[in-house]
Amino acid sequence: MSGNEQVGYGKPPQANRFRKGQSGNPNGRPKNRHRTVPYDAVLGQMVTVREDGRERRVTAAEAFLLQLTQKGLAGDSSAARASLEAIETARAARGGNGQGEVIDKLVWSYVGSGADAIIGPLGIAFRKYPTDEKRMRWLLNPWIVEAALARLGGRRLNEDEQREVWKATRTPHKVRWPEWWTVTE
């Protein structure tokens, strides 16, 4: 090492520095390493579900589909669409040859139940994206927000709760907010 060479943080000795034109990683990145997400490892785990008071063991994937289907049957239209897409994807991956399938064709008819069936007709809220089936978002009408706030009595919402109410309100500037309300955007 020469006497005028600076060595320290970010300045290694000249003998230890990378040579010009030589790669710092001559072997490169290993091939086929972590190519896919381990869906099978996660969704293949066994979990316990309770149905009608009885417990049984199923895979995480099956438990997920059961939950999604249950929400769809209860009237959650976005969950119904998601469960139908998952079923169709599984059928396509299996080849759809019908082997081992109990259901040859699934016919879905929406039964008007749950919150979606009454929120719109009662004027409680309106759909923000009525033509987009993939985005399901309801915005509350001002009168229902005022009625709900009046029912709180002496209880006050914190700022995070106020922000959530503000964002979920159709026209928040038309609401008669209580005097303790602090969020305005």
Q: pLDDT tens across 119-178, in order?
A: 777 788 887 877 776 777 788 899 988 988 988 888 889 999 989 889 889 889 899 999
Integer Cα distance of 154 and 65 in angstroms: 42
Average pLDDT score over the chain? 77
Residue 107 has pLDDT above 80, yes or no: no
48 bridge partner residues: 57
Which tokens sit at 56? 């049984």
pLDDT band of 21, cuts 50, 70, 90: confident
Answer with the residue of higher pLDDT: 35 or 17.
17
Contacts 24+ apart (CB under 8 A), 173-181: 174/142, 175/142, 175/145, 175/146, 176/146, 177/149, 178/149, 180/156
pTM given for the model:
0.39
Residue 103 has pLDDT above 50, yes or no: no
Residue 20 has pLDDT above 60, yes or no: yes
Quick: pLDDT tens for 111-121. 444 566 667 77
pLDDT at position 95: 67
Please choose, from the candidates 43, 97, 102, 95, the residue with its C-alpha nearest in 3D space to the C-alpha of residue 68.
43
Quick: pLDDT tens for 42-101. 777 888 888 777 888 888 888 888 888 878 777 778 877 887 787 778 777 776 554 444
Residue 109 has pLDDT above 70, yes or no: no
pLDDT at position 180: 92
